[in-house]
Amino acid sequence: DSANYFWVPFGITIMMIIIMLTDGYDLFLMGHVGNHLVVDWGVSRADLGPINMAGLLGMAVGSVGLGWLGDRIGRKRSYFTCLVFLFIGSVLCYYAAKNGTKETAEAALWQMTIWRFVTGLGMGGVTPLATTLVAEGASDRVGSVIVALVISSVPVGGSLAGWAIQHVEWQQMFLIGGLVPLGLFFLFGYVLPESPKYMA
């Protein structure tokens, strides 16, 4: 609690901000691709309801379940489990979206509902674990400010999704939402330290 903020806590903060940007991207993704999906598959906005509901349900389960898991196996391991869920769910959503047509829309929507739930598990777990890692890695003097900064990265990630949809096909939005967490899994897997309070 009396340690300086630079450099290890600062490094943790930067990593958490980057991952929370990814979380925000995935969180707001359906809002950006929904209109394109409706037009290409000839479905109604109401047909997207189960997909959105599955994502929210996954977030509810993930926030509780992965937060609990973090107390058992460590914040870092549980956190990277979230990235695995984000990768699997988003990439499989991409394949469902890519293979979907007006003729196969019903089956594709059902597949996306399942994989959006998986994505939601990761999205739900990221936020509480990120705040825990930052709060337990920084001193009491700056902890609350840093946590607020990290959380504010979520809507910024959503705006990145709005920018991306203007430059790529809507199906590829899911691929980006899956491959970026996979890259962060390998990039930060070796450098992100475990929470010192958990280790103690």
Closest to 14 (Cα-Cα) out of 187, 186, 200, 179: 187
The gap from C-alpha 33 to its chain's centroid, in whole angstroms, comes to 16
Q: What local confidence, expressed as pLDDT, does residue 2 receive?
A: 73
CA distance 35 to 30: 9
pLDDT tens digits, one per residue of 147-200: 999 999 999 999 999 999 999 999 999 999 999 999 999 999 889 988 888 888
CA distance 88 to 68: 21
**Prediction pTM value:** 0.93
182, 87 Cβ separation under 8 angstroms: yes
N- to C-terminal Cα distance for the chain? 13
Cis preceding linkage at 115, omega within 30: no
Q: What local confidence, expressed as pLDDT, does residue 152 receive?
A: 94
pLDDT tens digits, one per residue of 56-114: 999 999 999 998 999 999 999 999 999 999 999 999 999 999 999 999 999 999 999 99
φ/ψ of 169, rounded to 5, equals -65, 150
Q: Is 118 exposed, middle or buried (0-12, 13-18, 19+ CB in 10 A)?
A: buried
